[in-house]
């Protein structure tokens, strides 16, 4: 029964997010209130706030996945694989799968996000949380005496690759490039970005 309840909660959460995103795309994020989202979704305002602590998370309903994407890839790296190699492999798999983690989205969605100071601020918070998640993962593996500076610098570099490529994907959408064109260009840019880190992180945190 608990599994069924959880699926129902996830479905309700997704439905509320979809309704909210539709309203935001139509009228603008800053012009729509939580009460209006609740009314359009046919639920109480408290139901919306129970599922989404912040209005911005109605847009970034997958923010936990955005935050954990890199850390999970690193934590689950294969034997003999470095943190950089694991993230590189995960990025290209996500790019191939058109995953939200790489920043591919519709023109309307990207325009909405980039046109709202509140959503841009939330995106920066997600960037910071992603970096912290990577650092936590690397530090936990180092045991009781991690190299704090080394971990922090490595996490910052690994997170930067994801952030830079994500922002470039948003820009490509705003420039009117097709999904196929964006993926093709991102493939080359990602190769360049990961190669650039290879000298410093290619042998770092090998499992």
Q: Give the dihedral sign, CA 24/25/26/29.
A: positive
pLDDT at 145: 83
pLDDT of residue 125: 97
Residue 67 and residue 54 in contact, taking contact as beta carbons nearer than 8 Å? no
Q: 99-137, pLDDT tens digit by residue?
A: 989 999 999 999 999 999 999 999 999 999 999 999 999
How far apart, in Å, are the Cα atoms of 45 and each of 15, 27, 86, 97, 201?
14, 19, 42, 35, 47
Worst-scoring range by mean pLDDT, 55-64, 158-167, 176-185? 55-64
- Residues with Cβ within 8 Å of 188's Cβ and at least 6 positions away in sequence, in order, are none
Q: Whole-angstrom Cα distance, residue 64 to residue 195? A: 27
Q: SS3 for 45?
A: helix
- pLDDT for 22-37, tens place per residue? 999 999 999 999 999 9
Cβ-Cβ contacts under 8 Å for 40 (sequence gap 6 or more):
19, 20, 22, 23
Q: How far apart are CA 79 and CA 89, in angstroms?
A: 14
- 122 and 29 Cβ atoms separated by less than 8 Å: no
SS3 state at 98: coil
Residue 182's pLDDT is 97
Query: Which helix (H) or strand (E) segment is 43 a member of?
Result: none
Mean pLDDT within 145-156? 94
Question: CB pairs under 8 A, 24+ apart, for 38-42?
Answer: 41/15, 41/16
Which two three-digit tokens encode residue 29?
């994020």
Sign of the four-CA dihedral 179, 182, 184, 186: negative
Predicted model pTM: 0.93
């Amino acid at each position: 029964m608990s599994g069924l309840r959880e699926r129902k909660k996830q479905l309700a959460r997704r439905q509320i997010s979809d309704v909210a995103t539709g309203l935001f795309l139509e009228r603008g994020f800053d012009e729509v209130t939580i009460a209006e989202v609740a009314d359009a979704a046919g639920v109480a305002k408290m139901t919306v706030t129970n599922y989404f602590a912040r209005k911005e998370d109605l847009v970034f309903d997958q923010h936990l996945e955005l935050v954990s994407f890199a850390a999970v890839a690193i934590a689950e790296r294969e034997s003999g694989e470095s943190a950089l190699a694991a993230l590189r492999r995960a990025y290209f798999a996500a790019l191939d799968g058109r995953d939200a983690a790489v920043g591919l989205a519709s023109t309307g969605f990207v325009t909405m996000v980039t046109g709202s100071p509140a959503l841009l601020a939330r995106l920066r918070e997600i960037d910071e949380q992603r970096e912290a998640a990577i650092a936590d993962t690397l530090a936990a593996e180092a045991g009781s005496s991690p190299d704090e500076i080394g971990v922090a610098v490595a996490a910052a570099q690994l997170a930067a690759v994801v952030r830079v490529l994500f922002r470039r994907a948003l820009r490509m959408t705003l420039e009117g490039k097709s999904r196929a064109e964006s993926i093709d260009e991102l493939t080359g840019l990602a190769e360049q970005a990961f190669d650039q880190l290879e000298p410093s992180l290619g042998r770092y945190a090998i499992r």
